[in-house]
Amino acid sequence: MKGLSGIPENGVKTLKTLLNPKDLKSKSGLCGILPVPNVLKNTEKIMLLFSHKLSRCDTTLIFCFVFKISQIIVRMSEAEKFILTDRLIKPDDETLFSIIGDKSRLWQRIMNYVKENYTGISEVWNYYNDGKQWLFRLNQKKKTIFWMGVLKDTFRITFWFGDKAESLIKSSDIPDRIKSDFKTAKRYNKIRGISIKMADETDVDTVLKLVAIKLKIK
């Protein structure tokens, strides 16, 4: 953005705020970026703020940048859409199983194993305004183990790890692709995420290994 002509330093700062995804780590614990309507709305704000300062070239550059972001977001939303968006209806097992179908067996295996092998386990459903959806959080006492979001016919489990977990993840026998994803994952403050869209029993094995790693870290 340093190449934008005629914009004062405080203007560049404002421009970056408008263009950049501002919820690097949302309250829900899941990565998120601005939805398409907000991106386009922010484009209008940019044009109004700097219309007297921007050259035609700069204006085109900004529009292309924002349009590219919107294309990426559209592809993401088409590829994966979370289901539990009605804040008035708190999910329960019946609701969950009716949505995830035959993946219910994967969820039951995870929950049964965790409850049988660890103490102080609690389950929480909360509605998060930033993501406009219900998310499940599995805890051990005050420690969050993982987050779960419900998709059509399946679900996604997300762990957040600090740097202390890196050696444990590297030395574990979880799939190499997940180790690689974690190594190269974007940092949010001092944490990185591992997210798994559940497909089969192999994914359950990976989740349970990650639960063990999470609970080893003090």
Of 52, 79, 106, the domain-final residue:
79
Predicted pLDDT at 218 = 81
Give residue 46's domain range.
Answer: 9-79
87, part of any domain: no
What digits encode the pLDDT tens for the residues 25-51? 343 433 332 333 444 445 555 545 545
Of 47, 79, 111, the domain-final residue:
79
What digits encode the pLDDT tens for the residues 116-135? 999 999 999 999 998 899 99
Number of separate domains in the chain: 2
For 120, which DSSP code? S
In 59-188, at which residue ranges do the beta strands (DSSP E only) sit? 121-128, 133-140, 143-151, 154-162
Q: Are 98 and 57 within one domain?
A: no
Q: Are 100 and 176 within one domain?
A: yes
